A and B are shown apart, each in its own frame.
Chain A
Amino acid sequence: MIRIERRLTESRWLLLVVPIGSLIGAVVLSGIILFFTGHDPVDTWQRLLDRGFFAPGALSASLVQATPLLFTGLAAAAAFRMQTWNIGAEGQLYLGAVGASGIGIALSHQPAGVIIPAMVVAGIITGAAWAAIPGVLRAYTRTNEIITSLMLNYVAGLLMNYLIFDSHSYWRDLSTFEARVFPLGKYLSDAGNWPNLPITGIVIPLGFGLGIAAAAVLYVLYRSTTFGFEARVIGDSRAAAHYAGIRTRRKIVAVMALSGAFAGLGGASEIGDFRHVLDPRGLQQAGFGYAGIVVAALARLNPFAVVVVAVLLGGLSNAGFALQGATFPAGLVGTLQGLILFCALAGELLVHYRIRVRRPAGTAPIAPQPQASSAAGAGPA
């Protein structure tokens, strides 16, 4: 009989062995599928790695995908660390894009040194404000933030659609006849396009650099500040936080806003780095906000691990675009990507839990295991 038990302690070597095991599992499983669909597994894997990371320009293209994932991953990590479930990075990213593009258009005659900081600040503020809504509802009316933040994603998506498709808003380009028939947003001026940071041939978007800085900020915040300490206490036990005199409600709003700020900055980067125009369809198709939750989970909410995971997932999805074609259907690409994520998340389970197989004889089927957490060494009395 097979049982899954929570590990009492999480050993360090598992943290290394399990990801490698997951990777091998993913290679084997996808190899089987590739073989039976008539593709050469080794060749496919090689192409996947090439297109994702090693071919000329591949890493640069992957960073385009990785940058928004980095921000939404940080957004999820910031909130989840306090056990506050902000599922709304998607909508907060849209709002950040709306805010940043609005400011970018308004300041189009200004130099880059004015436009770009303004866009960054606008993205942060609008994203934070959007996230503060479910935060306030959670803190003061005890509304479930999972539901409210998720629902606000749809509101944010519809708001973007309204600004471009259903109204003559400030964001919409009405200067030409075509633009009036085929709705389109106003493009940023050249000064509003964020510069790249070329390092040894790889094109690094400014947003990616900001993302690494944001990861560092998040790391320091949680590790070394009283703000982060309070958030960790709240995440661990709200009763203990109340007992310690921590103002939990303010903190919930603050952490939600912080989370939204990261996502909003991601939205600003999408506009400034890549799209240069408010593009409702493109943003909604990408689903960066939801993917960010996966990034954060795989990174175990560690900000620096979020950077690494975002690059890996960015490469994976970039390779996917390159891989699909007449002989290689998009569905198969999705299957491969799904398998890799599945194996990675399944491996996560093994870090925290162990599977015990025991012979049926001499087992205690209904024995509730003494909870290590509650008994705390007292053991079964």
Chain B
Amino acid sequence: MVTAGRIPAVTMRGITKRFPGVVANDQVDFEALQGEVHALLGENGAGKSTLSNILTGLYRPDEGEVVIQGKPVTFRSPRDAIEAGVGMVHQHFRLAASFTVAENLVLGHRDAADRGLLLEPKVVEGRIADLSRRYRMPVNPRARIWQLSVGEQQRVEILKALYRGARILILDEPTSLLTPQEADDLFQTLRLMSAEQRTVIFISHKLEEVMAISNRVTVLRRGKVVGTVMTKETNQRELARMMVGRDVVFTQKKEGPAKAERTVVLELRGICANGDLGTPALREVNLSVHGGEIVGVAGVAGNGQRELAEVIAGMRRRTSGSMAVSGKPTRGGNPLEAIRRGIAYVPEDRLGTGVAPTLSVAENLVLKSYRRPPISTGGLLHHRRIRTNAEEVMTRFNISARGPQSPTRLLSGGNIQKVVLARELSGRPRVLVAASPTSGLDVAATDAVRALLLQAADQGDGVLLISEDLDEILALADRIAVLYGGRITGIVERQKAAVEELGLMMAGSTGAT
């Protein structure tokens, strides 16, 4: 690890930013030194993004001051921030997909060397080559963005910031879409940058990577700074406590699942399906899930995960292959059939698909059971039963909302996910398909959701956990299948799974079975 200098590159004092109904940053003091990797740790909603948006000129603070390299600054726009040497890599990249890497780098940027409208591709490409060599970020300047992998696109974003002379680089959840190998490469690059006395502000809620990469950590909770600690002098447990305000023990699957009655509840044979663009997204997928078992599906996003979940839930037609629930074949392509056959589904898009956002919590809780008694008889809804059902379920699943009648969209992400899970599990399913069930949730909610998944497995449901979070899969799954390019490239038992091997399979090399 590189030793950091003593000179502050960024100092933020007494930053307060209010939004209607929320104080996103409350008297935040933050300091990052030159040449250090400084992690900004906090749950969702802790105020990390607001703070970085203030630092990059996207928001203006209501109170407080920002000092860059010793000079007080007032950013009126992101352009001011770029000129002061602050660059940001957003979680969702801001690149023009049909432009080349070189074009993206100069887009909207004017510097002394090439005034005027004419681009000088040779000069630009030369500089890109220099930068990418220096920081070990191989990328072809002439490639178009849409041709690049997520990891490569991220490199382009970092190069863009460096090209514009960023001395201070902010990365917002940079590893969330990367494979383990890509994340390692990124960390290499960040270390090289800090060795050159550039400052890296690394926003994350993953403890492991914060421990691995940073020199110091500032923890935010509910808009306030809990503290700043040296990474060397702390540990994951302490950071987690600072972040959540209490001790956290992540739920883990117990070793040796009850294998007493391992009947196959879900059987997929040779499933093929097309993606939204009509191109093949799933190729010959074979997979079986037993009752009481959690099967994890790992893989980088866009390799057929969503399509797989949708085919099982009847929301997408398969083009060939067969699927059976508890031994009985299904026709497929019909969500109602899937619901009736006991397939519960927690979709990745929880607010638009998992719930109807403006309908009440009570209504969303009966979204799949409204057709039958006791919720309705002869086409007439029983409002009182809908309400008592909601009250009962909200207590049982610990859903906090102003009341059963409040619009679901006003709930926090964790509570929305609990609404979805509560509804799906109270339908007494045989199979539970959960797609990225904890993405974007804070630590406490993540833990609650994981506990519910384990509880479903304990009750004898077969659980298919589709997640990009390898740690989550390793913590919960009995068996792990890796999906790459629409194919299952390998299935391993959890006990035998090595992270490196899984990472290779996620990147396309066929692993051992």
Contact = CB atoms under 8 A, between A and B. Distances in A.
B412 A244 contact: no
Contacts of A239: 349, 352-353
B45 A227 contact: no
B20 A367 contact: no
A381 B50 contact: yes
Nearest to B409: A373
B3 interface: no
Interface stretch (A228-236, A265-273, A281-289): A228-236
Nearest to A354: B20
B268 interface: no
Nearest to A5: B20
A210 interface: no
Nearest to A373: B409
Nearest to A368: B58
Contacts of B140: none
Contacts of A224: 380-381, 383
B20 A233 contact: no
B433 to A, nearest CB: 12
Interface stretch (B100-108, B211-219, B365-373, B484-492): B365-373
A240 B367 contact: yes
A365 to B, nearest CB: 8
A240 B353 contact: yes
Contacts of A241: 356
B310 to A, nearest CB: 9
B404 to A, nearest CB: 15
Nearest to A245: B336
A369 B19 contact: yes
Interface in B245-259: none
Interface string B155-186: 00000000000000000000000000000000
B60 A229 contact: no
Interface string A305-349: 000000000000000000000000000000000000000000000
Contact of A378 (B44, B60, B355, B381): B44
B345 A376 contact: no
Nearest to A224: B381
A370 B349 CA distance: 18
A364 interface: yes
B22 interface: yes
A119 B390 CA distance: 46
Contact of A244 (B21, B48, B335): B335
A17 interface: no
B358 interface: yes
Given A366-B58, A367-B59, A381 B48 contact: yes
A226 B22 contact: no
Interface string B368-405: 10110000100111010000000000000000000000
A378 to B, nearest CB: 4
Contacts of A247: 336
B44 A381 contact: yes
Contacts of B33: none
B410 A369 contact: no
A377 interface: yes
A44 B47 CA distance: 58
A367 B58 contact: yes
A242 B315 contact: yes
A8 interface: yes
B335 A245 contact: yes
Interface in B10-29: 17, 19-22, 24
Given A239-B353, A362-B60, A226 B20 contact: no
B356 A226 contact: no
B36 interface: no
A226 B382 CA distance: 10
Contact of A379 (B24, B59, B313, B315): B24
Contact of B352 (A237, A370, A379): A237
B339 interface: yes
B108 to A, nearest CB: 15
A222 to B, nearest CB: 11
A340 B411 CA distance: 38
A226 B58 contact: no
Pick from A239, A245, A372, A375 the residue with the most CB of B within 10 Å.
A245
Contacts of A362: 60, 62
A141 interface: no
B356 A236 contact: yes
A120 to B, nearest CB: 23
Nearest to A221: B379
B243 interface: no
A177 interface: no
A380 interface: yes
Given A237-B357, A245-B339, A366-B77, A380 B379 contact: no
A239 to B, nearest CB: 4
A225 interface: yes
Contacts of A243: 313, 315, 335, 345, 347, 353-354
Contact of B46 (A225, A363, A381): A381
Contacts of A244: 335, 339, 367-368
Interface in B52-71: 53, 58-60, 62
A374 interface: yes
Contact of A376 (B335, B351, B376): B351
B416 interface: yes
B413 interface: yes
Contacts of B379: 225-227
Contact of A381 (B49, B59, B351): B49
A233 B359 contact: yes
Contacts of B17: 380
Pick from B59, B335, B336, B356 the residue with the most CB of A within 10 Å.
B356
Given A240-B367, A376-B410, 17 more contacts: A5-B20, A225-B379, A225-B380, A226-B379, A226-B381, A229-B381, A237-B352, A241-B356, A244-B367, A245-B334, A245-B338, A245-B368, A363-B60, A376-B409, A378-B44, A379-B19, A381-B49
Q: Which 8 A-B pairs have the closest CB atoms?
A: A245-B336, A377-B412, A236-B356, A364-B60, A245-B335, A239-B353, A379-B22, A381-B49
Interface of B: 17, 19-22, 24, 44-50, 53, 58-60, 62, 76-77, 313-315, 334-336, 338-339, 345, 347, 349, 351-359, 363, 367-368, 370-371, 376, 379-381, 383, 409-413, 415-416, 440
27 contacts: A8-B21, A224-B380, A226-B379, A226-B380, A233-B367, A236-B359, A239-B353, A240-B353, A240-B355, A243-B313, A243-B345, A244-B339, A362-B62, A367-B59, A370-B19, A373-B351, A373-B409, A376-B413, A377-B45, A378-B45, A378-B440, A379-B19, A380-B24, A380-B47, A381-B44, A381-B46, A381-B50
